[in-house]
Amino acid sequence: MTPKLQAKNLRLAISGREILNIENFMLKNGEVIALIGPNGCGKSSLLKALALIDPPAAGVIYFNGHPVYPGGDMPGARRRMALVFQEALLFDTSVYRNIMIALRIRGVTGKTASERARKWLDRFGILHLARRSARKLSGGEAQRANLARAFALEPEVLFLDEPFSALDYPTRKTLLNEMGKLLKDMNMTTLFVTHDYTEIPYLASNVNVMFEGKIKKSGTVQTIFGEEIFEKRMLTPWEA
């Protein structure tokens, strides 16, 4: 089966320091991979390269089996992806218009855009905040709006770069539960960067471990963390 996203021989160095050295990375359709490793190991750099935001110095990136970097249809591939970062990065307008603007950029307008916006605001429990200014949202509300905007784009690949790390414990736990069910229900192909290993069992089925710009180990959550720990974390991941 052709991977949804694949990268081969990615290389990136800054001021002589190797940031990325990825021989082969694959994200299969419907797969959720957690990318972990120490600070500065290249996790976010790899995510941004795969999302075609910061292309690497060398290597090839494939989307649905077709090369999109270098020399491919990068804009077309980007339009089929969505990203959620730690900071919500919302426009200074209403929550509803934040989603409508994003949809318009992707060429979705009129009734279709409005229905999508309302659907995902409702799905993330913030439809009642649709007319509120994004500047007046709490941290949890802003991240819900950010996630609703990403899902409204109906992406083929979702990139999550530590989207829960700035949230308080109750908000984070609630969102992780909701997101885990949502990703599974939608069979959403997802790359999830995190530094908090207790988040992983909620969302991911597989794990890639990075160190010094390279993927050192990959496998299922059970393989990487051990069956006993995995079982405990699935039941009480914050207390394990």
Radius of gyration, CA atoms only, the chain: 18
What's the count of helices (H) and strands (E) in the chain, helices before strands? Answer: 9, 10
Whether 103 has a pLDDT exceeding 70, the answer reads yes
What pLDDT is recorded for position 128?
Answer: 97
Q: Write down the pLDDT at residue 165.
A: 85
Other Cβ atoms within 10 Å of 173 Cβ, number: 17
Cβ–Cβ < 8 Å for 234, 201: yes
Dist. CA 62–CA 51, nearest whole Å? 11
Indicate whether 236 pLDDT > 90.
no
Between residues 155 and 231, which one has the greater pLDDT? 155
> What's the pLDDT band for 227 if we cut at 50, 70, 90?
low
pLDDT in tens, 111-156: 999 999 999 999 999 999 999 999 999 999 999 999 999 999 999 9
Q: What is the mean pLDDT of the chain?
A: 90
238: enclosing H helix or E strand:
none
Cβ-Cβ contacts under 8 Å for 214 (sequence gap 6 or more): 21, 22, 42
All domains of the chain in start order, with CATH: 5-235 (3.40.50.300)
Q: Which of 56-60, 224-228, 233-237 has the lowest mean pLDDT?
A: 233-237
